[in-house]
Amino acid sequence: MGYVTAALLVFFAYWLLIMYLERRGALQKFNISAVGPLLMIRTKRGQRLLERLAVIRRLWRVYATLGIVFLCVAMLFMSLLLLYGNYAVLTEKPEPTELNEPRNWLLIPGLNEFIPLWGWVGLLVAIIVHELSHAVLCRVEGIEVKSMGLLVALLPIGAFAEPDTEQLFGTRNGGAKKVATPSERMRILSAGVFGNFAISIIALLMFFAILSCVQPVSESVTLVHDVVVGSPAEAAGLRAGMLVKEVGGVGVESAKEALDMLKRNEGGSVKIVVLSDGEEKELLLRSAAHGVMVAGVMDGYPAANAGIEPGMVISRIDNVEVRSLDDFLAFMRNTTPGQVVEIYVFDVAGHLRTSEVELAAAPHGGSGFLGVEVVDNAFGVLILDFPLREYLEALKGVLPSLTSPLGWLRFMTMPLLPAPLGFSGFHPHLAAFYEVRGAGDAVLLIADVLFWAAWINFYVALFNCLPAVPLDGGLVFRDLLKPAVRTFAKGREEKITKAISTALAVFIFTSIIFVAAGPYLL
């Protein structure tokens, strides 16, 4: 039984237990309620802590007022970014990637393939800070917090604060309870967002403080950058991020040396020694062909129509032997759209196949186009020289760039891009190449935790700034909209404001789904 199947069985067993306990009334005895498999465990404890934190009321009000400004700026930024995302999907019609997978739109470490498990620290901090900020500002403004508690779905996944909603969103009707004014409510709602922004900035500053002490172990390393799916390299156990030390019994100090040794052994086998997670491994690569391996095929172009697939090796085109990437590119430069060529490929089983292909027009230029991406060897491995010092200096340069919106956009996309363009932590691949002198490896792990805490808190804040009810941004937008509507529709402002807010929320959430699913639909 696989781990995924076992985890699903445990989860469904837990869910059945919750349903049974809820039906028997056992949960209610302990002030626990269930929403599907999600448990809300409430407690009155923590009220004294809230009162202590809320003592400096003037300071908290300044803090929350500043939060309104941040929320409004982020609301505009996110709205424009979402509109641009819709426009890009409609006009460019991009191919689906890992970013479009539903699991990667959730900030759940381990489920989202871009976020490692230690991202849980950042996620829990984000949720706790967000809800605690709301709760403290409720007490500052005289709004009761009925309970606080944990959200549990087999494991704790967050926290919540439960204010008196009649006080927070009600209207003044002469009742005994205080009702929040629009300005008080906006401060309460903005506090959670601003708390996440504050944690993000603090964690980033701590991350860059550690980064200033980090040094590379050498100027550059020879690194496995990518491995073709279904290739001999993948079958042998090569993975992206491994450090190449020897090829064919010869030590290599550059990607060119490693590639030259691989090319010499095409059509046979070669031993390669790599460093993986601090451990040396000797792997045996076997290839039945000479040439360049197909790493990717573009849908709708000649190669795809001819049945050429990733993992196949192009060894000849017409009467020209293709022994290297230079041979392949030189031949294609001298072709024309509509020209018919004969492609000789070895499939993944080592069988030679031939196909007559009519070339398409190249997207950029007047030559013929086959529609493939290739790597310069028949083993299916892309090896690059990774400039350790240059990469570290570029990473340090992110901090001063955060004075502009483009710098924050770069920060937002860092974990989604592979090195050397992005950064997702020193572990597991980069930890072997960097060190903090006088300190252990744990310091780099702390740096990773701080980075993910900053990134997740930033995204939690931005998402909550969207002008869509029931998000904080949507509720603040509704309070800001109502006075404007009152100027031309006095007496009907409540109804019109609600209609506009609802329509905008539907548009926002539909747009998010469209940006995620659009590449699959168009």
pLDDT of residue 33: 79
Confidence of residue 172 (pLDDT cuts 50, 70, 90): low
Spell out the alpha helix ranges (H) of 348-441: 388-396, 398-401, 405-413
* Separation of alpha carbons 460 and 111, rounded Å: 17
**Distance (Å, whole) CA 80 – CA 77:** 5
pLDDT tens digits, one per residue of 317-362: 999 999 889 999 999 988 999 999 999 999 888 888 998 989 988 8
DSSP code of 31? T
Confidence of residue 494 (pLDDT cuts 50, 70, 90): confident
pLDDT tens figures, 396-436: 999 999 988 888 889 999 998 877 778 988 887 788 788 88
Q: In this predicted structure, which of 22-26, 240-244, 421-425, 428-432 has the lowest mean pLDDT?
A: 428-432
Q: How many CB atoms lie within 10 A of CB 491?
A: 7
Do 220-288 and 292-378 show the same overall fold? yes
Measured from the Cβ of residue 386, the count of other Cβ atoms closer than 10 Å reads: 22
Average pLDDT along the chain? 86
Average pLDDT over residues 372-383: 90
Q: What is the pLDDT of residue 29?
A: 78
| Average confidence (pLDDT) over 273-282 | 81
Cα separations (Å) of 130 from 31, 63, 161, 226, 518? 23, 14, 9, 39, 31
Domain 292-378 has CATH 3.30.1180.10: no
Domain definitions of the chain by residue range: 1-29, 31-208+456-521, 220-288, 292-378
Q: What is the average pLDDT across 186-213?
A: 94
Q: Give mean pLDDT, residues 431-453.
A: 86
Answer yes or no: is pLDDT of 462 > 90.
yes
What would the pLDDT profile of 111-156 be if each residue is shown by its tens digit? 788 888 888 899 889 988 998 999 999 999 999 888 877 777 776 6
Q: What is the CA radius of gyration of the chain?
A: 29
Cross-strand pairs, 38: 35
Q: Tell me, what DSSP letter sits at residue 38?
A: E
Task: List the Cα angle 53/54/56 in 5-degree steps.
Answer: 100
Is the pLDDT at 1 greater than 50, yes or no?
Answer: no
Q: What are phi and psi of 83, to 5 degrees?
A: -65, -40
d(CA 307, CA 74): 47
pLDDT at 69 over 90: yes
Q: Which residues contact 501 (CB under 8 A, 6 or more apart)?
A: 469, 474, 477, 478, 481
Tell me which fold the domain 220-288 belongs to: Pdz3 Domain (2.30.42)
pLDDT (0 to 100) of residue 186: 93
| pLDDT for the residue numbered 342 | 93
Q: What angle do CA 46, 50, 56 make, to 5 degrees?
A: 160
Structure confidence at residue 158 (pLDDT): 64
For the chain, report the end-to-end CA distance as a whole number of angstroms: 37
DSSP string, 337-350: TT-EEEEEEE-TTS
DSSP for 113-182, written as a single string: TTS-TTHHHHHHHHHHHHHHHHHHHHHHTT--EEEEEEEEESEEEEEEEEE-HHHHH---SS-SS----H
